[in-house]
Copies of this chain bind each other. A is one copy, B any other.
Amino acid sequence: LTLAYDGTAFAGWQHQASARTVQATLEEALLPYDGHRVVVTASGRTDAGAHAAGQVVSFSLQSTIAVDRLQRGLNATLPSDVRVVQAEEVAESFNARFDARGKTYRYWIWAGGVAPPFVQRYVWHLPTTLDVEAMGTGAAMLVGTHDFAAFQASGSDAQTTRREVRDSNVACIEAANAAFGGLCVLPRAVTTGALVRYEITGNGFLRHMVRNIVGTLVDIGRGHRTPESMRDILLSRSRSQAGPTAPPAGLVLWSVHY
């Protein structure tokens, strides 16, 4: 299944004893099909409050229901903050986590002005303008295979902190042009501030890696660090050298690549 979810009211993807999680919600919705709990495997966890537009999960069902009927059935019972946007039958050997070759994340920032109420769950609203060009220069320095230990949440225990980043870029989308015909945004005459999008594609991500990169890029955009400092931070392999962890609301797991 490809899932989209609004993470605002979830304590993240992964099952927890006493919190609402996307995994538990999906497994509960699958209960009627096999009559017992089906354990699902996602491409990876997502943080509490972070969103997904293209999370991929795999599982085995005994039921012989057709995938399009399964998709409709799940969308009828799942709460409206989780949707099955695609369903397909795959080889039994397919594993959403281990077969993933890479992922793309997006992170949205509303810089300055007034963020429309319709997007507040999906952006990090900053009161200041940002130097988007400097942020782009800093972001580009992450492309390649590096040790990303400096951007890993402290206390993590990944076996290796080397990752390959294939793309890392910053785009400024003039908020007043942020089209979508106006859904989720405001009339041009009352739109203030800029919408900044960070996009990163890599073969794998450490815990909080994207949010720690964004916190550092925002430091650059505010002029508190130079774009070139990104290289020194990487080389330091020290979490304390990088910027703060950006809030989860701006983060979207955009797509998983197989």
Contacts and interface: CB of A to CB of B under 8 A. Distances in A.
A119 B183 contact: yes
Instruction: State the number of copies, please.
Output: 2
B184 A197 contact: no
Contacts of A184: 118-119, 122, 180, 183-184
A197 B178 contact: no
A106 interface: yes
A84 B113 CA distance: 10
For this complex, into which size category does the number of interface residues on chain A fall?
Answer: 35 or more
Interface stretch (A1-9, A140-148, A233-241): A1-9
A13 to B, nearest CB: 14
Contact of A116 (B53, B120, B185): B53
A25 to B, nearest CB: 12
B114 A75 contact: yes
Interface in A40-88: 51, 53-54, 75, 80-86
A211 to B, nearest CB: 17
A17 to B, nearest CB: 25
B181 A197 contact: yes
The binding surface of chain A is classed by DSSP as mixed
Interface string A166-200: 00000101000011111111110111100101000
Given A4-B117, A83-B117, A85-B190, A173 B181 contact: yes
B117 A81 contact: yes
A80 B54 CA distance: 27
A117 B197 CA distance: 20
A108 interface: yes
A84 B252 CA distance: 27
A152 interface: no
A254 interface: yes
Given A80-B117, A84-B114, A114-B84, A122 B183 contact: yes
Across the A-B interface, the 4 shortest Cβ-Cβ residue pairs: A180-B180, A85-B190, A184-B184, A6-B117
